[in-house]
Structure 1
């Protein structure tokens, strides 16, 4: 089995850089693309067919929640993890969406967390 192919989606370049650094330090994970908007996320997910998408909740254009719904419909088998700098309880809208495997506070992104998210992700149907 090859590496877990990851698409990182965030409108803030500093977070994309941090995520890329974490992925580089996590054996078995490979960054295959980056996007800054929900629309770009959908387009790249369809083109790259990643195993895992780390998707910011608040994005320009369609939100991460909306993009997640489209991605899981159009790219079956992709695991989507919604991310934000807000605590889940403080988000201005719900992030529960069909197909979303987990919610991750951005400060918790580290190799061990990434591995645990992947290992505990629901098996796509």
Structure 2
């Protein structure tokens, strides 16, 4: 993980435009830094193992293993890593596994620096 003052973010999404959008949001979010990117579930798990990010923004639908399975593997390896599942689907259209995963969900259109901060603060305050 990075210095205590910076929240390191890994983005896992097979859509390059969304990864670029996350990059831009992270750059505009004080206290956050982009740790890395991956475009499949397996690559996301491997990146999380090597980069040890604080926060992972994980697409639900990925080539190979899906975001729920990849997110579960990441959290099993490091329970302190916060995994947030992302999609363009509304909550009612998501696979049932998203609701039962214990991971937060973020609609991709809602991603913004303030939302990133709020997700991080809510999840880390849950650990207290």
Give the TM-score category using the shorter length.
Answer: over 0.9
Where 1:70 maps in the other structure, the secondary structure is: helix
How far does residue 92 in structure 1 lie from its aligned partner after superposition? 3.8
Give the conservation status (yes or no) of the 8 Å contact 1:57–1:82. Answer: yes
- Residue pairs, 1:28-43, within 5 angstroms: 28-43=31-46
Q: TM-score under structure 2 normalisation?
A: 0.91
Give the deviation of 1:88 after TM superposition.
1.1
Of 23, 27, 33, 2:26 maps to: 23
1:81 aligns with 2:84: yes
TM superposition shift of 1:99: 4.8
Say what the alpha-carbon RMSD is for the aligned residues: 1.3
Structure 1 unaligned spans of 5+: none
Q: Is the 8 A contact 2:12 2:39 kept in 1?
A: yes
- Deviating above 4 A after TM superposition, structure 1's stretches of 4 or more consecutive aligned residues are none
More helix by share: 2
Alignment match of 1:68 (pick from 68, 71, 75): 71
User: Which runs of 5 or more structure 2 residues have no equivalent in the other structure?
Assistant: none
Q: Does residue 113 of the first structure (1) align with residue 123 of the second (2)?
A: no
3-state SS of 1:34 partner: strand
Q: Give the number of equivalent residue pairs.
A: 123
Native 8 Å contact 1:68 1:99 kept in 2: no
